[in-house]
A and B are shown apart, each in its own frame.
Chain A
Amino acid sequence: MKKIIIIFILIFITGCDSYIELNDLAIINALGIEKVDNTYKIYAGTVQMLDEESLMPEIEVYQVEGTSLNQIIDNLSLALNKKIYLSHLDLLLLNDSIKDKELEEIINFFLNNNETREDFLVINTNDINKTLEKMKFQEINELVKNNKRETSKTIYTTMYDVIKNYYDKKSIYIPAINIKETITLNGLKEYKNNKYKDIKSDDVIYINYYLNNIDTYKLSFSCSNQTNKYLYLNILKGITTTLNKEILVANEIKVITNDCNYSKDEINKIFNDNLKNKLNKLTKKKITINNTIRGTYEN
């Protein structure tokens, strides 16, 4: 009898109201939020299969307005006649209209919604609606991921990073997208003290150094004594260790082209000077750099 009572308690205190059939779900894959005249405008990108034969999912963007995010989601649910399902949210698009108060409300919305995760990508775009219409959400995700991996010229910022940096009162770096004929990555937006600041793609590399978030990237230097000749380096790996008063950076560098016939020490110096120069703009700590250089150079 005791066993049965324990089993019943176990069962009934846990709740069992999460039952939902798949076809009653409106799967929101991307969400765009902007604020215009004290009103939130939300762009919800849903993915769905139109029929059993379709091989590719159809994407539809719904636009809803309201004064609070929860109210908008409820309205969206009524409009679609389905349960709004945010667990597979892949992308959150924001623009410069989202500042302190709005950002806090967005963070609270996601923290209080137990069905959402915080591992989706957050990006900044000048035109949310056009971005959602132009490109599939997964493609945007891949674009940021690939750029980060191959060039280190962007940061893959998730909602978790946004929340963490917001509460730590640190800069929030959000990858920026520029939409014209095609979608291109346009550096970062740095959000700090209720302001957005543009960071160019080339400078993102050094922010990644500062955050110990470097993958791989390529760098070229013009030869000091020859025109149209370059030193071309591939930085395979970069590791940053931040101490109290010092930043240690270790790089694995491969020399791809050495038209200038620089020696190993010269290459080391050129690279270090450049890196120190850039990092000094981000931190006042002492910077020590150690490089392992492979490839073609004069001994």
Chain B
Amino acid sequence: MTYLEKIKKESNNADDYIYKEIKIGNNLINTINIETITSSEDINNFILKRISILENLESDNLKDFLLNFLPATTTEELTNYEKLKNKLLNGYTILIINNKYILAIETRRDLTRGVAEADYEKSIMGPKDAFIEHYNTNLGLIRRRIKDINLHIKTKELGVHTKTKIGVLYINGICKMDLVNKIVKKLDKINIDGIIDNNYLKTYLNESKSLFPTLKGTERPDLASEALLEGKVLIIADNSPEVLIVPTFFIDFFHTSDDYYQKPLNVTFIRLIRLLAFIIAIFLPALYVALTTHNPDSMPINLLLSFQSQRMSVPFPAFVEAILMIIAFEILRESDIRIPSSMGTAISILGGLVLGDAAVVAGIVSPIMIIVVAISAISGLLIQSIEAINSIRWYRFLVIILASIFGFYGIFLGVILILINLSDTKSEDKDYLYPFAPINLNEQKDGFVKVNTKGAKLRNPILSNNKVRGN
């Protein structure tokens, strides 16, 4: 069976597979390309036009001529059918010369969008560009920032059917090689149908059972480049607008790219606000439940009376009221994410004004509970990672349940459980709570407190052996 027949059979004569037969003297050239992923213009200009002007050539000479003189950036000679399939499916045009030689010429159609602004990792002062779904563009955005020959890439193709291109990026000389090798080994072990997005890899790379994310995805090339300079490893996947940063520490979720473009004092303030918001997001509803059901003695009497009067017509216990409101918020948030943006305003009005006000008037929830859940929910959104926000949600539920059973004691139990969980978590064998546990005083300069870049001269010692920045 010829190559041509094999492809036709395996593709079940798919409509978008284009076959052409060109005769040049005694030679027969069969071209195959997939119309939907190749550029017809490139095929016409750089392949067909060139071939059509050829005179009679020997089979070997014809192959050499095409290999060397076709003005395409990537032209390869293939040796077997598997490679032929792979290239064909990657947007190459295949030339089969006398069913003997196979050439693959890159004629990929650009199916990606242009570099756009970051969507969920907004920055006020920093660069605005963001990764897109194109491997090479994403790589280019990083190379544009790090013009170092030591920026190395190990590439792989993962996914039995998707053959997704995965790149492991690191700076040789800064990053520890055992980290790179470990990640590559883990990637090698992945055997699944397909990698549709970078997030598929998280399941395989993440060994921790913690609810907190141990891998951070970023859509910002500046943040990714910063991570590389710290000695971290990036994982880029084709078709994914996010780049994974490995390893990720707890403190990383409190840092944004803007932190490196502003005065350290302001950054320190805003980081402490983020920490406060994180604590509020988890503990505020639980605190309210504990105060109103177990520990009213901890409130000033005026506040106690105010709470008492507000809860007068509410038929549910405070715990049920809190759970109802949090679930209502989660439904609103999910619907806001899923529906088209044109309907977002309607949902906001319905959710925020109608449901909130109507629920109070109807006596289903107390106004103070709406305030508590709203503050908690808004505080949770200060952290940019959606996975971190989701983990906050679970801890919030856990602490509310504990508070409703044990009051303040339950909240302390919750704090201890969360601390145990965080201390027990590892990201690529590195302590998740680093640089706080184990403590590293030098790294505190870019922890919750930020000092001037001039003051932070040393690199993170658990990420890099090259300790001094600038080397």
Contact = CB atoms under 8 A, between A and B. Distances in A.
A25 B295 CA distance: 12
Interface string B296-318: 11000100111111111100011
Contacts of B306: 49
A27 B313 contact: no
B304 A22 contact: yes
Contacts of A16: 405-406
A145 to B, nearest CB: 16
Given A21-B292, A88-B304, A54 B309 contact: yes
Interface in A35-89: 47-49, 51-52, 54, 57, 85, 87-88
A139 to B, nearest CB: 14
Contacts of A11: 406, 413
B308 A29 contact: no
B407 interface: yes
A27 B309 contact: no
A48 B405 contact: no
B313 A87 contact: no
Given A48-B305, A48-B308, A85 B313 contact: no
A167 interface: no
Contacts of B391: none
Nearest to B314: A23
Contacts of B292: 21-22
A14 B317 contact: no
Given A21-B317, A57-B305, A14 B409 contact: yes
Nearest to B402: A11
B309 A51 contact: yes
Given A21-B317, A25-B308, A90 B301 contact: yes
Contact of B301 (A18, A20, A22, A88): A88
Interface string A1-30: 000000000110010101111110101010
Given A21-B317, A22-B307, A88-B301, A52 B293 contact: no
Given A16-B406, A21-B317, A47 B413 contact: no
A275 to B, nearest CB: 40
Contacts of A168: none
B128 interface: no
Can you list the 9 inter-chain pairs with the closest CB atoms, starting with the nearest?
A49-B309, A87-B297, A22-B308, A88-B301, A18-B294, A57-B305, A16-B405, A22-B292, A16-B406
Interface of A: 10-11, 14, 16, 18-23, 25, 27, 29, 47-49, 51-52, 54, 57, 85, 87-88, 90, 115, 117
